[in-house]
């Protein structure tokens, strides 16, 4: 599948004087991003429409819903290992946050202060915390939140100092460094200046979407006179990346801005600037258990490679040694033990300039071979014995790799590619031919709905014995040294995988809930799958559940005792089935989208989810408007409606969070057993014109010792 974002990197023509404002520079991008701009506009529209529909829906009188917390950003987005810091998490419905859960060890959190739209926490990052993303969520009595990323780094980290929107106000920085910053307001531009020596080479890696931020940002490198040296956007789908060798010593500037000019306090980013090393690819992308292989690492600034390490997971069994290294290539020797667990490993390399980013490497159990070029032309096809894993590369534009093999009558084969899943830029496409060159089948994407994985897969039943061939290429005929793939050709192996329908399951205190599990069956398995929940606390009981023969789903009924406190427990679900007379166990998993608001996102695979015990909400709030226009010196009114539980009569005090300076609201209460109140906002003459998108109305009601807090959908204030 072609991505909507096809534009990789735009180099602008030089010729801007230092007086040219960066806003102008970034706007001068002819023909740029038409598609993504429209899709963003659509997203915004859909967002507004969906908010409207929530508000206009007429709810049954008793339909009071639990709204779980939603987190939209953390700032700063990361820290160096061994540090302690305070961070702010923004979101909705965060009042009464009881806990911050990190999925991996290494980062511990302590709650400092909670409001409805933000939570302040103190983090402690262990000196040996794994470098890379650490996923976390919040828990409140209304459930657990979505996942976000806190990234542990190995460089010194700093924070931007606003205002930094002009050349004169640029924040002075020194590489290597990781800068934490935000595109907090519309038209925000963040500028940094740094001195470089002649011949120095630096990597500028901007992490926004890959950090789960919704921001879609552009990065421009300029020289001291304001000429654009390099411009990047959408290198890693949404995130920019620049690698540059400076011929001339001097002062240079970096300018960062959102592509559509729209800022948001949630659009946080990290900009890492370092003199390498940077890994672009590894080849081959995997090896068989028990094999020894020489691997080539491609990238930048790899000279002086000393240590190679397997990140996280057990590295016993993967023995790695650096053999040689030059500027853009390093070779390593890998010995894979026979009993090393199958699956994906992350490999990083160390040079005196620091650690590289990790690349993925897969350990498999089938015999492996490497493609031998030329294998494009008729008569030059590479013959392979089956089953096989072929490690190949689409090493230049237009390269097609073709493999010939023999098939028995009535044989079934699976042709499966792993490329993008392992970090390759390749968008694989497979075509199957008979001996006369007639096309029998083709596939572009195994899962056309997965935007982040465009790997191809084919399964075919051969009626006639004979010679056949398979061609693999890039869908858009692109290629290069980093375009590696692993193509597996094998017999079907019946199997299944299980998935959760949510990574935020809940059960009401004293009530019931369900865990819905979906099975994906393949290659001939249609047997029964028995489900079991692991890690359940005493107060929650689960009934047994079975995904019946041939069926795809089952729900596990849960029951929670009364009188227990609202909290969350990490659980797993295991499915047991019999395959070829052997008992097989599979954990349920889920590909979780990690994102605040906005178009950018990343994903992560989880097999453990927090099961939350929730407390029922007593009321919900709704507002008659999603957009509230206000003119300076003027006022605006809107109605807030409460939906109450039958027995809930208490008065609800309305509090407004995040009003811009100069805008005030009168104290309002929805009276005892009443359902409406009118909120009136007043703007002074001095209020700053603009769009304020995070204003929220919070209702508070005291019931004995407990304070009930509920939030209305947030509104956008437009001040003219
Ligand atoms: Ca900023
Ligand atoms: Ca700024
Ligand atoms: Ca090739
Ligand atoms: Ca594809």
The residues that bridge with 179 in the sheet, in sequence order, are: 158, 271
Hey, what are 194's tokens?
Answer: 């740094």
Distance from residue 426's CA to the centre of ligand 1 (Å): 34
Q: Where in the chain is the domain with CATH 2.60.40.10?
A: 70-153, 278-364, 495-614, 619-719
Reported as a pLDDT band with limits 50, 70 and 90, residue 135 is: very high
Distance from residue 158's CA to the centre of ligand 4 (Å): 40
Distance from residue 602's CA to the centre of ligand 3 (Å): 30
Distance from residue 182's CA to the centre of ligand 1 (Å): 4
Ligand nearest to the CA of 190: 2
Query: Residue 216: which of 450, 421, 12, 4 has the closest Cα?
Result: 4
* CATH class of residue range 619-719: mainly beta
* CATH class of residue range 278-364: mainly beta
Query: Residue 146: which of 90, 217, 96 has the closest Cα?
Result: 90
How far is it, in rounded angstroms, from Cα 92 to Cα 115? 9
How far is it, in rounded angstroms, from Cα 681 to Cα 205? 43
Ligand nearest to the CA of 480: 3
pLDDT digits (tens, 9 = 90+) for 207-236: 999 999 988 899 999 999 999 999 999 888
Q: Which residue has the tokens 């694989």?
A: 428
Report, as an integer, the average pLDDT of 387-415: 96
pLDDT of 35 above 50: no
Query: Residue 715: which of 593, 621, 583, 631 has the closest Cα?
Result: 621
More confident residue, 149 or 48: 149
Distance from residue 103's CA to the centre of ligand 3 (Å): 39
pLDDT digits (tens, 9 = 90+) for 534-593: 999 999 999 989 999 999 999 999 999 988 888 999 999 999 999 988 999 999 999 999
Residue 315 half-sphere exposure, CB side, CA atoms within 13 Å? 13
Q: Name 226's Cβ contacts closer than 8 Å, sequence gap at least 6.
A: 16, 17, 18, 19, 20, 167, 253
Query: Residue 301: which of 228, 352, 343, 260 has the closest Cα?
Result: 352
DSSP letter at 236 equals: B
Ligand nearest to the CA of 442: 4
Distance from residue 41's CA to the centre of ligand 4 (Å): 27
Distance from residue 84's CA to the centre of ligand 2 (Å): 26
Ligand nearest to the CA of 268: 1
pLDDT at 62: 54
Report, as an integer, the average pLDDT of 527-532: 97
**Helix, strand, coil shares, percent, the chain, to 5:** 5, 50, 45
Ligand nearest to the CA of 429: 4
413-433 exposure pattern, b = at least 16 Cβ within 10 A, e = fewer: bbbbbbbbbbbbbbbbbbbbb
Distance from residue 546's CA to the centre of ligand 2 (Å): 56
DSSP of 35-104:
HHHHHHHHHHHHHHHHHHHHHH----TT-------EEEEEES-EEETT-EEEEEEEEES-TT--EEEESS
CATH numeric code, 375-490: 2.60.120.380
pLDDT at 311: 72
pLDDT of 1 above 80: no
DSSP letter at 544 equals: -
pLDDT of 156 above 80: yes
Neighbours of ion ligand 2 (CB under 5 A): 164-165, 188, 190
Report, as an integer, the average pLDDT of 104-120: 95
CATH numeric code, 495-614: 2.60.40.10
Asked whether the bond before 277 is cis by omega within 30 degrees of 0, the reply is yes
Reported as a pLDDT band with limits 50, 70 and 90, residue 5 is: very low
Distance from residue 76's CA to the centre of ligand 1 (Å): 12
Distance from residue 294's CA to the centre of ligand 2 (Å): 47
CATH numeric code, 70-153: 2.60.40.10
Report, as an integer, the average pLDDT of 468-487: 96
Distance from residue 213's CA to the centre of ligand 1 (Å): 14
Distance from residue 474's CA to the centre of ligand 3 (Å): 11
More confident residue, 41 or 121: 121
Reported as a pLDDT band with limits 50, 70 and 90, residue 164 is: very high
pLDDT at 220: 98
pLDDT of 421 above 90: yes
Ligand nearest to the CA of 170: 2
How far is it, in rounded angstroms, from Cα 569 to Cα 567? 7
pLDDT at 623: 92
Ligand nearest to the CA of 182: 1
Distance from residue 392's CA to the centre of ligand 3 (Å): 6
Distance from residue 479's CA to the centre of ligand 3 (Å): 9
Q: Which of 6-20, 181-195, 482-496 is predicted least confidently?
A: 6-20
Ligand nearest to the CA of 397: 3
- Percentage of the chain surpassing pLDDT 70? 91
Hey, what are 121's tokens?
Answer: 């926490």
Where on the phi/psi map is residue 53: left (φ > 0), alpha (ψ -120 to 50), or beta? alpha
DSSP letter at 447 equals: S
CATH numeric code, 22-32+156-274: 2.60.120.380
Query: Residue 268: which of 88, 443, 97 has the closest Cα?
Result: 88
Ligand nearest to the CA of 265: 1
pLDDT digits (tens, 9 = 90+) for 63-74: 899 899 999 999
C-alpha separations of 478 from 401, 474, 559 in Å: 13, 6, 54
Ligand nearest to the CA of 191: 2
Residues 68, 74, 79, 85: what is their CA dihedral angle, to the nearest 10 degrees?
-80
Distance from residue 480's CA to the centre of ligand 3 (Å): 10
DSSP letter at 374 equals: -
Distance from residue 359's CA to the centre of ligand 2 (Å): 33
Distance from residue 456's CA to the centre of ligand 4 (Å): 5
Report, as an integer, the average pLDDT of 116-129: 96
Return phi, psi of residue 338, to 5°.
Answer: -65, -35
Report, as an integer, the average pLDDT of 450-475: 94
pLDDT at 3: 45
pLDDT at 294: 93
Distance from residue 1's CA to the centre of ligand 4 (Å): 6
Query: Residue 73: which of 665, 693, 499 has the closest Cα?
Result: 693
In three-state secondary structure terms, 31 is: coil
Distance from residue 443's CA to the centre of ligand 4 (Å): 7
Going by their DSSP bridges, the two strands 512-522 and 148-153 should be labelled as unpaired
Q: Name 196's Cβ contacts closer than 8 Å, sequence gap at least 6.
A: 175, 202, 246, 249, 250, 252
pLDDT digits (tens, 9 = 90+) for 345-355: 999 999 988 88
pLDDT of 25 above 50: no
Opening angle at CA 83, ends 119 and 154, nearest 5: 115
Report, as an integer, the average pLDDT of 365-390: 92
Asked whether the bond before 387 is cis by omega within 30 degrees of 0, the reply is yes
pLDDT digits (tens, 9 = 90+) for 588-627: 999 999 988 878 888 899 999 999 999 989 999 999 888 9
pLDDT at 20: 40
Hey, what are 1's tokens?
Answer: 């599948």
pLDDT at 200: 93
Residue 518 half-sphere exposure, CB side, CA atoms within 13 Å? 6
Rg (CA), the chain: 28
Q: What is the mean pLDDT of the chain?
A: 88
Q: Where in the chain is the domain with CATH 2.60.120.380?
A: 22-32+156-274, 375-490
In three-state secondary structure terms, 604 is: strand
Report, as an integer, the average pLDDT of 178-204: 95
Distance from residue 457's CA to the centre of ligand 3 (Å): 18
pLDDT at 389: 97
3-state secondary structure labels for all residues of 643-679: EECCCCCCCEEEEEECCCCCEEECCEEECCCCCEEEE
């Amino acid at each position: 599948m072609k991505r909507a974002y096809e534009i990789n990197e735009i180099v602008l023509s030089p010729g801007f004087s230092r007086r040219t404002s960066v806003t102008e520079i970034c706007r001068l991008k002819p023909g740029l991003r038409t598609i993504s701009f429209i899709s963003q506009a659509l997203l915004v529209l859909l967002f507004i429409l969906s908010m409207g529909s929530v508000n206009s829906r007429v709810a049954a009188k008793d339909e009071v819903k639990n709204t779980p917390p939603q987190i939209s950003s953390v700032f700063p987005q990361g820290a160096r290992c061994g540090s302690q810091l305070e961070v702010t998490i923004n979101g909705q419905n965060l009042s009464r946050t009881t806990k911050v859960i990190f999925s991996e060890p290494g980062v511990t959190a302590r709650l400092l202060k909670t409001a409805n739209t933000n939570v302040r926490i103190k983090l402690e990052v262990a000196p040996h915390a794994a470098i890379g993303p650490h996923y976390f969520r919040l828990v409140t009595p209304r459930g657990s939140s979505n996942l976000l990323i806190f990234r542990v780094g190995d460089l010194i980290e700093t924070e931007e100092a606003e205002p930094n929107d002009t050349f004169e106000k640029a924040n002075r920085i020194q590489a290597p460094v990781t800068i934490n910053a935000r595109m907090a307001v519309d038209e925000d531009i963040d500028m940094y200046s740094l001195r470089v020596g002649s011949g120095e080479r630096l990597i500028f890696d901007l992490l926004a979407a890959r950090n789960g931020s919704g921001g879609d940002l552009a990065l421009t490198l300029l020289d001291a006179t304001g000429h654009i040296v390099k411009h990047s956007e959408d290198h890693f789908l949404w995130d920019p990346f620049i690698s540059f060798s400076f011929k001339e010593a001097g002062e240079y500037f970096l300018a960062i801005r959102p592509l559509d000019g729209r800022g948001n306090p949630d659009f946080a980013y990290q900009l890492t600037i370092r003199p390498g090393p940077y890994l672009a690819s590894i080849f081959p992308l995997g090896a068989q258990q028990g094999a020894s292989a020489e691997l080539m690492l491609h990238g930048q600034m790899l000279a002086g490679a000393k240590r190679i390490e397997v990140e996280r997971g057990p590295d016993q069994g993967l023995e790695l040694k650096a053999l040689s290294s030059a500027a853009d290539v390093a070779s390593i020797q890998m010995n894979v033990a026979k009993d090393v667990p199958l699956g994906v490993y992350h490999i990083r390399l160390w040079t005196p300039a620091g650690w590289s980013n990790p690349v993925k490497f897969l350990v498999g159990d089938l015999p492996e071979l490497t493609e031998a070029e030329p294998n494009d032309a008729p008569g030059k096809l590479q013959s392979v014995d089956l089953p096989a894993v072929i490690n190949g590369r689409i090493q230049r534009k237009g390269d097609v790799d073709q493999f010939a093999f023999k098939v028995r009558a009535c044989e079934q084969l699976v042709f499966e590619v792993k490329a993008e899943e392992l970090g390759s830029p390749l968008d694989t496409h497979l075509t199957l031919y008979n001996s006369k060159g007639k096309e029998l089948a083709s596939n572009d994407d195994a899962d056309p709905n997965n935007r982040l994985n465009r790997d191809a897969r084919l399964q075919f039943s051969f009626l006639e014995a004979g010679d056949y061939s398979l061609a693999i290429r890039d869908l858009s005929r692109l290629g290069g040294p980093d375009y590696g793939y692993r193509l597996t050709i094998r017999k079907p192996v019946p199997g299944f995988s299980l998935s959760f329908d949510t990574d935020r399951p809940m059960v009401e205190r004293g009530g019931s809930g369900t865990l819905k599990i979906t099975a994906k069956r393949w290659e001939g398995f249609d047997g029964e799958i028995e489900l079991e929940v692991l890690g359940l606390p005493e107060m929650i009981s689960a009934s047994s559940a079975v995904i019946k023969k041939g069926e795809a789903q089952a729900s596990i009924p849960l029951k929670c005792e009364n009188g227990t406190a609202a909290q969350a427990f990490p659980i797993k679900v295991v499915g047991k089935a019999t395959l070829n007379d052997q008992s097989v166990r599979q954990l349920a998993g889920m590909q979780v989208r990690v994102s605040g608001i906005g178009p950018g996102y990343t994903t992560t695979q989880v097999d453990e989810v927090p099961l939350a015990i929730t407390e029922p909400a007593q009321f919900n709030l709704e507002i008659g408007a999603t957009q509230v226009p206000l003119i300076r010196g003027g006022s605006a009114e809107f109605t807030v409606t409460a939906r109450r539980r039958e027995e809930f009569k208490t008065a609800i005090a309305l509090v407004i969070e995040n009003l811009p300076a100069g805008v005030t609201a009168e104290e309002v209460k929805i009276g005892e057993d009443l359902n409406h109140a009118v909120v009136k906002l007043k703007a002074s003459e001095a209020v700053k014109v603009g769009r304020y998108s995070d204003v929220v109305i919070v209702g508070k009601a005291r019931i004995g010792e407990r304070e009930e807090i509920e939030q209305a959908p947030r509104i956008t204030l437009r001040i003219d």
